[in-house]
């Protein structure tokens, strides 16, 4: 089946100027956005465009859904990013605080070639693709977002995981001076998440630098974040500063805080309720507000065909 045109999936206004901004070059656009004046675009999300390094349109990559995308204003204004605030509107309000200049990510642990890479190095590591993924929050709401990035596997292959590496831990920035949410004791900081290595290497696991063709807003995890579409949203760690390969299952922030509510795997599963609410249905953000009818939650968030084999033989009620 032929892939649909971007204009058939995403609101046309997000693609009207595609040819113009493609000519600008990603490295220059991202460098200006993140390095020169991070606060300028953090307070005005979407003011800086992403473009493919080759000058060719980013393709709608495998795994993209055909569902209507969530309005940008909703996707960038209704966020869980506790380091920037506990309430949904606070991350957007505090995003300008993020210190984005000279950002680096350490890739370390059980690897043959540990690296510390800056944003330009990360951006040039693999061709960027646009992937329209569902995002399902454990709280019962969902979105559909066109992300821009490449498979995390490209980065992991660069550092050459050792045979003893079985898991990958992700660490988010913890800067108490600029992130007011760190004053809260709801979680242990820094925020950490983890995947099995085979989950991290799966083609759907995305290292994202943008959304809606634009650099990531601070509240959505700038300048680089993880997106794992078949798991609940809290698994997709934001504002990454370290990726660590380990032999043992790593500690993760929510699992440490409430292990009976937040399992290590956290695959979207309508048959496994959270201790405080059902996961059988969800409400899509941007669709008629609180009056929007709920829709059935899909196993693995609708990605079962691609990822169910990763869990063959596992008791998904036990390993939630």
320 residues of the chain, pLDDT tens digit each: 343 333 333 443 443 343 333 333 444 445 455 544 433 333 343 445 665 433 444 556 677 888 999 999 999 999 999 999 999 999 999 999 999 999 999 999 999 999 999 999 999 999 999 999 999 999 999 999 999 999 999 999 999 999 999 999 999 999 999 999 999 999 999 999 999 999 999 999 999 999 998 899 999 999 999 999 999 999 999 999 999 999 999 999 999 999 999 999 999 999 999 989 999 999 999 887 667 789 999 999 999 999 999 999 999 999 99
At residue 291, the pLDDT reads 73
Measured from the Cβ of residue 11, the count of other Cβ atoms closer than 10 Å reads: 15
Q: Tokens for 89?
A: 């509107």
Q: Which residue is listed with tokens 């206004």? A: 13
Token pair 């630098």 is at which residue?
209
In the chain the domains, ranked by start, together with CATH numbers, are 6-311 (3.90.420.10)
User: pTM to 2 decimals?
Assistant: 0.85
| pLDDT score for 33 | 53
- pLDDT, position 49: 61
The predicted pLDDT at position 210 comes to 93
Q: What is the pLDDT of residue 51?
A: 55
- Which pLDDT does position 157 carry in this prediction? 98
CA distances 187 to 77, 183, 220, 253, 296, Å, are 22, 10, 19, 6, 30
Residue in 182, 11, 226, 153 with CA at minimum distance from that of residue 82? 182
| pLDDT of res. 108 | 98
């Amino acid at each position: 089946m032929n892939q649909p045109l971007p204009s058939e999936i995403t609101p046309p206004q997000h693609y009207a100027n595609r040819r113009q901004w493609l000519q600008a070059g990603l490295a220059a656009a991202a460098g200006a956005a993140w390095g020169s004046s991070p606060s300028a675009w953090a307070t005005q999300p979407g003011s800086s465009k992403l473009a493919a390094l080759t000058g060719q349109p980013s393709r709608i990559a495998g795994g993209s859904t055909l569902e209507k995308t969530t309005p940008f204003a909703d996707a960038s204004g209704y966020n869980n990013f506790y380091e920037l605030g506990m309430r949904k509107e606070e991350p957007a309000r505090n995003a300008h605080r993020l210190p984005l200049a000279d950002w680096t990510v350490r890739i370390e642990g059980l690897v043959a070639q540990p690296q510390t890479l800056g944003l330009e190095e990360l951006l040039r590591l693999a061709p960027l693709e646009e992937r329209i993924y569902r995002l399902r929050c454990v709280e019962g709401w969902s979105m559909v977002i066109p992300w821009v990035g490449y498979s995390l596997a490209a980065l992991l292959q660069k550092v050459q995981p050792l045979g003893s590496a079985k898991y990958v831990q992700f660490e988010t920035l913890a800067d108490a001076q600029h992130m007011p949410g760190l004053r809260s004791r709801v979680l242990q900081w820094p925020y950490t998440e983890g995947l099995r290595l085979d989950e991290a290497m799966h083609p759907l696991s995305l290292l994202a630098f943008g959304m809606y063709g634009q650099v990531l807003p601070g509240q959505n995890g700038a300048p680089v974040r993880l997106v794992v579409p078949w798991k609940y949203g809290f698994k997709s760690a934001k504002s990454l500063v370290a990726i660590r390969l380990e032999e043992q299952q790593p500690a993760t922030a929510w699992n440490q805080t409430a292990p009976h509510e937040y399992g290590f795997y956290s695959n979207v599963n309508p048959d496994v309720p959270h201790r405080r609410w059902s996961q059988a249905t969800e409400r899509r953000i941007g669709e008629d507000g609180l009056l929007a009818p709920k829709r059935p939650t899909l196993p693995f968030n609708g990605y079962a065909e691609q990822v169910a084999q990763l869990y063959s033989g596992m008791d998904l009620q036990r390993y939630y």
